[in-house]
Structure formats: structure tokens, C-alpha cells
Amino acid sequence: MNIQAIRENPKLLQKYNGIFSLFAAFYYLIFLWCIIEQRYFGSVYQTALFRIVIALLVVSYFAVYRLKGGVELHLLALYCVWAIVTQIIHGEALQRWAFLVELQLMLVWFIPGIILHRERRDQYYNWLAWITVIFFAVLGLVCVYVAVTRNPVVNPLSGYKIQFSDSSKWGVQRLLFLTFHPNGTGGLYLIAFSLSLTLIFRAKTAGAKAAAILSAVIAFLVVAMTASRNAQTFASVALGLMAGIFALNRVAAAQKTAVRAAVLLGVSIAVLLGSYCLYEPIRKGLWQIHIQIMETSGSSAAPTAYTGTSSVGYELRPLSADNSDNQEEEEYTEDTRSYLETGRTKAWWSALKSLQLDPSRLLWGAPMNDIMDISNSLIREQLEDFHNIFLQIVNEFGLPALLLALAFFLKVFADGVALIMQDAAGCRLQDRMLFLPIIAMMGFNMLETKSFIVSDFTSLFFFFACGMLVGVYRDGNRKA
């Protein structure tokens, strides 16, 4: 069957769209499962076939649709092309071929949203969203159990644990979720929380709405447990924006744009600030429940504390009478840190200084092994990244890549705002809510190094969400 026949036959094109989307869903579910188990399905990720299929999917799309994907997709495609060019310049194209192929997954996860028709897109989104929130809700209940008992739970599939740290490392007890840093866990549950909010408005039965609300509550609790200020901030942003969009939907379309914008911003900010104040009471409340359980049970079991990392992950050490200095650390500690106490400002300064000392980075970035060298020599710390997606992009792939990424961010943001501000009669409320995961992950990634750089579930989910929203936005434009 030739490409021309697929282009000209609507039924064949529809079948192609469905097959492409199924492959994209397969990759989505593989990455989701690898969060808890990498021995079997994770090994698939390392195979050449896994990466070859990614390349074939991207090539097949452009063979069928040519350059009809729209501005957003073209920006992503150009970003991928420029990343390949920079690696050729550095002589690392062969060395990093697997990374460059995996980078194309941002296209694979984005494309279903723009090729599926409205009904199919709704089904596709709903199925993947429900699978995701149920997956994280089950794990979230385990995290709640760990929070109120402080007993670590071992993942039988991998041997890694869900547990709590003591306050010696960060000054506050934080949830340690398997192999993830607390900030990484916060990003995962930020996805679960924002997806749950969208499903509240997409659920068709009272039971489904209740399940979506429950999953949102569980995800919000886990975000609080991580004490990740980045995740906490943008979970509150998502909740505030949900309330703002809901309020805006009740405002008459005849009202002036300024009035409607004021309603949106006013309600969003009020709920954002109110919800952000809940995190500390949640953490303290879970700790008090733990104390009550211990007093009721009269347990004499020695508490445990995080003592560092090793080659096999986080380790626990029993706290006995001989470790009286550590007993203090098991008392509840409030999170009094500020955003500027994380060392991010030093990382950002070193990233800018790296550009100043090596101006060629502005053109095509730096070789893989040299990206952090200048930074680590300046601040005398071994950083893995710059904790800022834009600074990471410009240091790794140069200014052209940064401009392409910024253009994509801004275009999707503009699409989302336009969708929200549309007349309620011309856009479903559930479609407006698709902006919640995007704005949450867009903000989260600005203070982390994920999207456009790393191929993991947190980073790639952003492009899945963007594709869904862009598809809905284009539906509205076609009707217009």
C-alpha cells in the first residue's frame, strides 16, 4: 500500500491515525509501568527495535501528512532536527544516537492529539487519563499508609522502598518514592493531580466523578508529603486555574473581556493562595495520625531514618537508644525553607557564567560530557543539571534550540488562553480544563530539567497533554 493511497482515502487515513495512536499509547503505558518496574518492560526500552519503531513512526507521519501538522508540531520537529545537527557538530551523533531517537518521542506523544477526530480523541484521552490516575492513586494510598505508620513498604517488583527520610538531609521529613528524588515524585503526582481535575469534568456518572475527586485528593496529599515546593506551587496553580475556569464559564459571554479576565484571575489567585496554605497542615496532620497510632498500639518498635544512598538505593537504619542524637530528627519539623534555599540560584548563576566563558554554546551548545564542567568548577559542587529547562537547553543545544522551545511554549500557552476565553457555547468546559495539566507541567519544568531534554514519563507527558489541547483548539478554529 503506497503513501499516496493513504492520503487520498479517508478510511485508510483514519486507520493509519488509529494505528499510530495505538503505538503512541503503547509507549505511554511502557513509560508509566517503568515507574515501578524496569526489569522486564524496562529492558524493552533498551532494545534497538524499541528505538527503530520510534523513528519509523515519525518518518511515516511526515510521509503521510508532509508539512500539515501545524506550527506547534513544526517547532517540535525543528527542535529535534537542530538537536541532531548539534550532535553532528560535536562529533557525538553516533555516540548519542539512542538519545536522539528517544528525543523523537515528544513528537510521537504529541501527534495523536492533532490527528484523531474529536470523539476518538476524547476516548483516547479518557482511557489513558483514567489508567494513569488509578495507577498513581493505588501507589498514593501506599504512600499515605507509609506516612501514618512510618513503616517502609518494599516494592516486590523491584526491591526499592517507599519510605520517609529524616530531617537531616533537607531539614524536613520528605517522602522517598522508590528511586525518585522527592522533587521527581512531586512531578509525577502533579501529573496525577492535574489529570484527576480534568476527569472530574469529563466523568459521565456520579461514581466516576467521585473516583476522580478521590484520586485528586490522594495526589494532593502525596504532593504535600514530598515537600517539593515546585510541585506544591503548580498543584495549587492547577487547582486555582480550575476554579477560575469554572467561574468564568458562569460569566455571560456578553461581558467585556476585561471583566471575564478579572474573574478568571481573581478566583484563580484566591484558590491558589488558599490551597498552598494546606500543605503544611496536611503534613502535620499525617504526622499526628502517626503519633496517635503509635500511642494506641503501644508499639515499642524502633523508628527508622533515612541515612543516605548507596548503589542499591535509599537505606534505612534503626534508631535505638545508642542513636539518641538521631531521635531528635524523628520529631516533626515544619518546612520553613524558601525557594532560594535550594541551591538553584547558584546553579542558574553557573549556567549563565558557562555561557559567558564558552560563547560557542550560544551557537550549538556543548558536548555531552562538558555541559556541567564549567559550572561544577565554579561552585565546587557536582551538579547533574542546571535546574532550569531553558538554561539547560541553551547550554546543551544552543540558542536556536532555546528559541524553538520558547516558541512552542508560548504558542501552546496562547492556544490554551484562547480556548479558555472562548464563548462557553463554542467550547465545552471539559475541553477548557485540558489546559490544567499543561500549565502545571509547563511551570514545573521551568524549575527542573525535564521536557525537551530527558525522555521519561514526566517530561513526555507534557507533550501528550499539549497535543490534546492543540487538537481541541484546532477543532474550534475549523468550526469558526
**pLDDT tens track, the chain, 480 positions:** 578 888 888 899 999 999 999 999 999 999 999 899 877 766 777 778 888 999 999 999 999 998 888 899 999 999 999 999 999 998 887 888 888 888 899 999 999 999 999 999 999 999 999 999 999 999 999 999 999 998 999 998 888 899 998 877 788 889 999 889 899 999 999 999 999 999 999 999 999 999 999 999 999 999 999 999 999 999 999 999 999 999 998 887 667 888 889 999 999 999 999 999 999 999 999 999 988 888 887 654 444 444 444 333 344 444 333 433 443 446 777 877 776 656 678 888 888 888 888 888 899 888 877 887 777 787 776 777 788 899 889 988 999 999 999 999 999 999 999 999 876 556 789 999 999 999 999 999 888 777 888 888 998 999 999 999 999 998 876 543
What one-letter code names the amino acid at 33? W
Q: Residue 119: how many CB atoms within 10 A of its CB?
A: 8
- The C-alpha atoms of residue 352 and residue 265 are separated, in whole angstroms, by 33
The H or E element that residue 304 is part of is strand 304-310
Q: How far apart are the first and last CA of the chain?
A: 35
Cβ neighbours of residue 427 under 8 Å, at least 6 residues apart? 419, 472, 476
Whole-angstrom distance, CA of residue 306 vs CA of residue 175:
10
Cβ neighbours, 10 Å, residue 81: 11
pTM: 0.89
Structure confidence at residue 477 (pLDDT): 64
Q: What is the largest CA-CA distance in the chain?
A: 78
Task: Give one word for 173, left, alpha or beta, with left for phi > 0 and alpha for psi -120 to 50.
Answer: beta
Residues 6+ apart with CB under 8 A from 347: 375, 379, 383, 385, 386, 387, 388
**In angstroms, rounded to a whole number, what is the distance separating the alpha carbons of residues 414 and 416?**
5
Rounded distance, CA 122 to CA 127, Å? 9
- Cα–Cα dist 236/443, whole Å: 11
Query: What pLDDT shows up at residue 425?
Result: 56
| Three-state DSSP class for residue 176 | strand
pLDDT, residue 107, reads 95
HSE, side-chain direction, 13 A CA sphere, residue 411 = 18
| Helix 457-479 / helix 435-446 crossing angle, nearest 10 deg | 140
